[in-house]
Amino acid sequence: MKKRQKAETSLGKASVAIIVSMFFALLAVLCVWLITSYRTTVHRGDERIIAASKIVAANAIWMNSLARETLHRIDDGLGENIPVPGPDRIHDLNAAVADLPSQVTAYVLGPDGRTLFSNDPNIRKVDVTDRDYFVRLRNGADDYTSSLIMSRLTNRQIFVFSRRLERNGAFAGAAVVAFDASILKPVWDAVAMGENSTVSLIRRDGQLVARHPEPDGPVNMKDYVLFTDYMKKSTTGVYRALSPIDEQDRLVAYRIIERTPFVAIASADMAIIMRPFWNDVEIAIALVILAVVGALAAAYWIRGLIRVDAVHVMELADAVKANEMLMREIHHRVKNNLQTVMALIRLQGFDPEAVGKVNERISAMSAVHEQMYGFDQFAGVAARDFVPGFVGNLVNMHALNIDTTFDVDDFVVAADKATPLALLLNELVANSMKYAFKNRPSGRIHVELKVLDKDVCQLIVSDDGIGYNGQTKKPGMGTRLIAAFVKQLKGSFAYTRSNGTQFVASLHLIR
């Protein structure tokens, strides 16, 4: 009897231990899943908000270009002497602004601020002589981009581009293109970041230019963390902060737009960004609740089974021990078999040196793409930025004290020429590192890339190593690749030996 009770107690404890272990194993799996879900959600949120900021930036560039071109056409259309308003001149102005969207209105103001021409059929007399976009031009500025202002014609939020009109060296008025702030509504629809998201344009001095949803009025954001911290560190970025306009917690992506006065902003409600993660949290909580209920039910059921089957425990003990021994033997053999498979795989391994060379060439191609897109240089890569960084990374991969110097012109390598150039540099530097400095702890590599004319560039890669003439009876893979890349770049090359090896090539890199 005592033996039976002892067996029941042992089995009961073992059952509880198994249930508890399974429960904690489930918790561990759920924790790992939730951590992964959180990181994935944050990463996807960053990617979405960055993509949204690019859309805002692209539209800002379009608006800036549209305004500048329209102002130029208006100035040209007015002729040498700005005429008195009349039907013919209104027709000329309409021709100059015929392609403007419905949210954009053009005006010509006289030197006294009086409206001379407009494509607005409901134009009426208003005083704009106190507006910055007129005062700045009157005081000598060539052009001006306003912050968010309230239109005195429509009582709508607008932002304005203006251009100084000069005739015979004197101020003759201003050409004005006004954008209704609602022009950002289609942009907001396009980014589709959900409710409580925003798209904005801000001047680099912190003045709000336009926003959707629209704010109550003009906003000065110069003391906002974007301007006091983030923009001082980088031209693009993502951060989380409370909005200075409505105090909402949002994830924000910004981009300073070159050749414009704008900073493009896209933001999304953190609650919406993190919604997939919180959905996973709800699922995890539901699974935990089900696991607790299941564990309690299993414990109760196991307790009943133990009471019913306790009498058979002792009879089955030997069989259990035998099964345990069998399972140990199976696991041991499986382990041995897996080790054998691993050994066979190693015997079939590829040449590490060949793998390393392939990786270097793939890294060379990867470096080009990293440059192009990192800097939105879709038309090509900046030679002065790319070549020193790329070659420096190649040299640093080797355990040699190599001094690298550069003389690179400031030009853009065409996108379809950047990858062959990178692969050519990779082969040349790899050859120098492999052959030029044998039995030497240090050396020098110098790289020049000069523009000879508007299309042809000269590449010189030299070292102070043991010397190499590039002529062999049976050239290796690297030598063949160098010739192939030069041919792909429609160029020619030669090796010279003078205190080392000098590779000189004329290449078509610009277009």
> For 451-506, what is each residue's pLDDT tens digit?
998 789 999 999 988 766 555 555 677 788 888 999 999 999 998 887 888 999 99
How far is Cα 300 from Cα 307, in angstroms, rounded to an integer?
Answer: 11
**pLDDT score at 317:** 66
What's the mean pLDDT in 430-447?
A: 83
Q: Is 411 helix (H, G, I), strand (E, B) or coil?
A: coil
Name the token pair of 336.
């041995």
How far is Cα 108 from Cα 86, in angstroms, rounded to an integer?
Answer: 13
How far is Cα 391 from Cα 462, in angstroms, rounded to an integer?
Answer: 13
**pLDDT score at 120:** 78
Q: Is 190 helix (H, G, I), strand (E, B) or coil?
A: helix
Calculate the CA 217 to chain-centre distance.
Answer: 32
pTM > 0.85: yes or no: no
Name the token pair of 245.
């306009």
| Closest-CA residue to 426 (of 390, 381, 459, 477) | 390
Q: Where are the domains of the chain?
A: 13-293, 353-508
Look over the chain and give the mean of its residue pLDDT values, rounded to a whole number.
81
Instruction: Give the largest Cα separation in the chain, rounded.
Output: 120
**pLDDT score at 200:** 95
The DSSP call for residue 83 is P
Over 50: is that where the pLDDT of 445 sits?
yes
Neighbours of 363 (CB within 10 A): 16
Start-to-end C-alpha separation, the chain: 95
Name the token pair of 272.
């919406």
Least confident interval from 147-161, 250-264, 489-503: 489-503
Residues 381 and 412 sit within 8 Å (Cβ to Cβ): yes
- Estimate the crossing angle of helix 2-78 against helix 87-96, to 10 degrees: 140
Q: How wide is the angle at C-alpha 208 spanned by C-alphas 233 and 174, nearest 5°?
A: 115
> Of the CATH numbers 3.40.1280.10, 1.10.274.10, 3.30.450.20, 3.90.1820.10, which one belongs to the domain with range 13-293?
3.30.450.20
Residue-wise DSSP of 241-277 = EE-TTT--EEEEEEEE-TTSSEEEEEEEEHHHHTHHH
The larger pLDDT score, comparing residue 310 to residue 97, is at 97
Over 90: is that where the pLDDT of 48 sits?
yes
Over 50: is that where the pLDDT of 109 sits?
yes
Residue matched to tokens 């609602």: 182
Name the token pair of 392.
């420096």
- Split at pLDDT 50, 70, 90, the class of 90 is very low
Least confident interval from 10-14, 253-257, 374-378: 374-378
- Split at pLDDT 50, 70, 90, the class of 328 is very low
Residues 101 and 183 sit within 8 Å (Cβ to Cβ): yes
How far is Cα 174 from Cα 124, in angstroms, rounded to an integer?
Answer: 17
Q: Is 313 helix (H, G, I), strand (E, B) or coil?
A: helix
HSE (side-chain half, CA atoms, 13 Å) at 238 = 17
353-508: CATH architecture: 2-Layer Sandwich (3.30)
The larger pLDDT score, comparing residue 66 to residue 341, is at 66
What's the mean pLDDT in 104-133?
A: 86
How far is Cα 66 from Cα 184, in angstroms, rounded to an integer?
Answer: 15
